[in-house]
A and B are shown apart, each in its own frame.
Chain A
């Protein structure tokens, strides 16, 4: 009979790898757990660099920071952060298209009728403005303005949310300081070998290159793309999504601070991928994402250099290779993968840090008292997979709906889409129908932003909106627009707001 290890109380959690994922995990666990009950140890090596995943975030990060009790001003100063109201997509759809995906909805509903339907009716009466014209966040971005929604005057529209652009390496350092203060032990060293329990294959201890042996009951793999525990050791299978997400490389390059700080991320499509531009307080983060099948590394570097109006490239990081997809099981045995060890989706919608955060929250929710992990593990894997697939489909949408002439884009247009996404597009195309969703990322407004933005105009509209005539619908949207203009008029410039709140030094 095969001996089976007895369940025992969890007393030691070991995190392998620092970086954003490692220190976010350490900080959150240290906030929730007292070290005298469960000890958290993080192993990292200064010799190994980090990818510095995701400098642009989505509003959920504020929940994470709130869990830790971080002061926003201190956090922003430490991470050189700026505010972010959404993402501008330039050249997606068509080569000259320009739309905005804000962290908020559009317009104002009329008597429970979704604004989208009213907007569509107003178009029938001659409206030519795009949907994103009815976004307070978009209007503020176009003028580089920002203030917190709660700071807007009472009679103004404050129907927007916000996130941050930040220096991910500085964020990891900031969280390291926090976690160590809370009792997390950091051990310097590189992984040398792994000791497992013969009975059940659970990891028992990690031995480092300096012969330090670290025992644990639960191991968290934050070792990045190398996935030392979940991939190399436990052989958790990787599900590849390159049939839909064709980009496989990126080069990152910093440039000088923007003269006028934009409160949004810019994503510009090029002939075989896209560029990102992320404004931080003292520099701008830039990069190019591309498919090697359609663009060589040298050409990509030249393209990025030209995009930044440089004659020679600034120091750069890359090419970074990636393989879009995820582990079939992010939690296997007594090992949970978080961050790049778990999966990778290109940061087109700034979801990298969010996916780390999601894994941390689900781990905390499901963390059992002892080493009987089966039920928690199954639920964790289900939840993580659902969200990865959800984000994946949303990113695919940006590629699939295009009218660009280049071969890369033609291949994206012609690829067979996941069935769920096909259905979604067909339902939207008919009358602008989008199913209700209550959990995870990307609710109706996000889909509306990208579907309309990429040029998919529905054939019909929701018949419930026919309670209004086309002219009444037109009046409704213009009334809203006027209120929106007034509201944004009084907002300060983003840069000024950062300075006056102390988040950025003058």
Chain B
């Protein structure tokens, strides 16, 4: 089966890597190499490991050869408080009473219970700058969490190209000479392919170009304590994210996702960067590290005519959680799920759009929770349900686990209404002792790592 990937960028190489283990797929990557507008350092959700599984790249090889580090927790600064949550369970139930209700009951009566995340093993590890690989053994505390990654995208792209050239040399052709006509559906491309996947960047297609985010890197006076975590801060301009590509780095990558996309001059961009680089540990903004990501008007298309298309620019969404790589991974998962339908374009489109959209919906719902909690929005159904009953609304499929959502909401001080019938029937002293035991176990275990 001949597959043409239009556009020579990280997206096309990521797709190629996922398709390559199927030896019957012959792929051509068409077009000149383009430097992505992607931020150079990105974080990804735990389902990135499903992507690695598709590519047959083991996490071990990936972490050894790509500049990256595991991501255990988000650290959110808001109103002079630090909130932490991640991809993990928190606490343990007591009989039929969920931990969130136990915690809420005592917190509501001013018991000294500390923070909700004090009862999460993964968050405790992240706070101490420690990491240990999770395990699937349900009896182990190491099964209570998953992790994402923070990835240096240049290093990732180089790695993918090397992997593909080394392991699948006959399957992938890189044809740079072809000039893709971006305004046409197919450009000057070979019509002999069984399937075309459009990964082109489309900036020349649209007139209005505004800036959606700005990223830059800073040199720090001392090593930043940002191992296994990603910092998120809501500022007047939007989300300010801080990440380190790997644990040894003494540079820090900032990304400012603007709430509203703006037309900015170079000097305005410089000012914006300086305004957000005021930490006392920052020595200097690294020259030439400032990069803007534009958003270009256009629909979020999953299909361009009959070919699946990945709109790179739509991935520069104003998100504290989702990165371009996350969007690409979801696209690939949907593509591989439905690729068998390629000969029946209508059905392919029907299945692919539903599959892709369902995945996006579940992540967008999670993503919106943080903004809604910080803004105090009262119209979010999922949050209201949680407040009323402690239940996390689940979609089908849902990439976000209920425990992650509960961690986010509880960390931000959104506790379910008191009086849960199952928690209420337990004496406070018993609940308090239960919480104490959990803290002791977590403390003991995390110290031993």
Residues of chain A touching chain B, judged by Cβ–Cβ distance below 8 Å, are 9-10, 31-34, 36-38, 112, 117, 364-370, 372, 374-376, 379, 386, 423, 426-427, 430-433, 435-440, 460-464, 466-467
Contacts and interface: CB of A to CB of B under 8 A. Distances in A.
Contact of A37 (B337, B344, B421): B421
- Which of A364, A372, A374, A462: most chain B CB closer than 10 A? A462
B389 A366 contact: yes
B389 A368 contact: yes
A187 B231 CA distance: 59
Contacts of B53: 112
Contacts of A431: 340-341, 343-344
Nearest to A429: B347
Closest 6 CB pairs of A and B: A369-B419, A375-B388, A462-B340, A439-B396, A32-B96, A37-B425
A98 B355 CA distance: 33
Given A369-B417, A435-B337, 13 more contacts: A10-B421, A34-B425, A38-B425, A365-B389, A369-B421, A370-B419, A376-B385, A431-B343, A433-B341, A433-B347, A437-B396, A438-B398, A467-B23
B96 to A, nearest CB: 4
B397 A461 contact: no
B384 A375 contact: yes
A32 B389 contact: no
A464 B53 CA distance: 15
A464 B23 CA distance: 9
Contact of A368 (B1, B343, B354, B388): B388
B272 interface: no
A277 B340 CA distance: 40
B338 A433 contact: yes
Nearest to B346: A426
Contacts of B365: none
A464 B339 contact: yes
Given A372-B388, A379-B389, A435-B351, A464 B22 contact: yes
B252 to A, nearest CB: 38
A463 B421 contact: no
Nearest to A462: B340
B388 A433 contact: no
Nearest to A458: B340
A421 to B, nearest CB: 14
29 contacts: A9-B419, A32-B96, A112-B53, A368-B389, A368-B419, A368-B420, A369-B418, A369-B420, A369-B424, A375-B384, A376-B385, A379-B389, A379-B391, A379-B393, A386-B396, A427-B350, A430-B343, A432-B340, A435-B355, A436-B337, A438-B398, A460-B340, A461-B340, A462-B340, A463-B342, A464-B22, A464-B339, A464-B340, A466-B1
B378 to A, nearest CB: 12
Given A32-B96, A433-B338, A376 B422 contact: no
B301 to A, nearest CB: 21
B336 interface: yes
B422 A33 contact: yes
Given A368-B388, A369-B424, A463-B24, A433 B394 contact: no
B343 A460 contact: yes
Given A376-B389, A435-B355, A440-B396, A463 B419 contact: no
A374 B341 CA distance: 43
Contacts of B393: 379
A463 B1 contact: yes
A386 to B, nearest CB: 8
Contacts of B342: 463
B341 A375 contact: no
A37 B419 CA distance: 11
A467 B385 contact: no
Interface in B391-449: 391, 393-394, 396-398, 417-422, 424-425
B396 A33 contact: no
A150 B252 CA distance: 52
Contact of B340 (A38, A364, A366, A433): A433
A427 B417 contact: no
Nearest to B384: A375
Nearest to B339: A463
Given A32-B96, A34-B425, A435-B355, A464 B336 contact: yes
B408 to A, nearest CB: 19
B24 A430 contact: no
A439 to B, nearest CB: 4
A461 B339 CA distance: 11
Interface in B10-41: 22-24
Nearest to B419: A369
A427 B396 contact: no
- Which of A367, A376, A379: most chain B CB closer than 10 A? A379
B421 A436 contact: no
A431 B340 CA distance: 7
Given A368-B417, A430-B344, A460-B343, A379 B385 contact: yes
B65 to A, nearest CB: 23
Contacts of B339: 462-464
Contacts of A36: 425
A365 B98 CA distance: 10
Contacts of B421: 10, 33, 37-38, 367-369
A438 B385 contact: no
B347 A426 contact: yes
Contact of B354 (A374, A426, A435): A435
Contact of A463 (B96, B340, B355): B340
A435 B358 CA distance: 11
Interface string B234-278: 000000000000000000000000000000000000000000000
Contacts of A366: 389, 391
Interface string B101-115: 000000000000000
A33 B340 CA distance: 50
Contacts of A369: 417-421, 424
A427 B389 contact: no
Contact of A32 (B23, B397, B417, B422): B422
Contacts of A461: 340
Nearest to A364: B96
A467 B24 contact: yes
Contacts of A32: 96, 422
A431 B347 CA distance: 10
- Which of A33, A375, A439, A440: most chain B CB closer than 10 A? A375
Contacts of A37: 421, 424-425
Contact of A430 (B337, B341, B398, B419): B341
